[in-house]
Amino acid sequence: MTDDSSGHEAPTRRDYLTYGGAVIGGGLLAGCVGQSGSGDQGEPTDTETATPATKESPTETDSSYSVSMEPVGTVDFDDVPETWFPYTGDYADMGVALGHGDGLAAIGVRRRFGAHHYEELPGVSVDKSELTQLWQDGTDKEIFYEIDADVHVIDPNFMSNRLQLKQRDVDEISENAAPFFGNTTFTKVYDWHDYSYYSMYEAFEKLAALFQERDRYEAFKRLHDEIVANVGERLPEETPDVATLVPADVPPEAFWPYRIGSGTQSKHWNDLRVGDALAKNDVTDAQAGGGRVDYETLLEIDPDVIAIRLSGEITQQWVDENIVPHMESHDVASELSAVQNDRVVYGGMTYQGPIIHLFQLEGVAQGLYPEEFGEEQLFDRERVADIVNGNI
Q: Are 156 and 185 in contact (CB under 8 A)?
A: no
Decide if pLDDT at 176 tops 60.
yes
249 shares a domain with 179:
no
CB 321 within 8 A of CB 352: no
Within this chain, do residues 47 and 76 fall inside the same structural domain, yes or no?
yes
Q: What span, in angstroms and rounded, lies between the C-alpha atoms of 208 and 55?
A: 12
Predicted confidence at residue 164, as pLDDT, reads: 81
How many domains, the chain? Answer: 2
Count other Cβ atoms within 10 Å, centred on residue 120: 13
Q: Is 2 a member of any domain?
A: no
Per-residue pLDDT band for 262 (boundaries 50, 70, 90) equals confident
Give residues with Cβ within 8 angstroms of 117, minimum separation 6: 355, 356, 359
242 plus 200 within the same structural domain? no
Q: Which one has a higher pLDDT value, 236 or 38?
A: 236
- Pick from 69, 64, 106: nearest CA to 81: 64
pLDDT at 122 over 50: yes
Tell which of 225, 250, 270 closes a domain: 225
Of 207, 225, 243, which closes a domain? 225
Residue 109: phi and psi, rounded to 5, are -135, 120
pLDDT in tens, 289-346: 999 999 999 999 999 999 999 999 999 999 999 999 999 999 999 999 999 999 999 9
Q: Is residue 1 part of a domain?
A: no
Residue range(s) defining the domain that contains residue 333? 235-388
- Report d(CA 251, CA 68) in Å as an integer: 45
Q: Cα separations (Å) of 277 from 182, 240, 301?
A: 31, 9, 7
Q: Residue 335 is part of a domain; what is its CATH number?
A: 3.40.50.1980
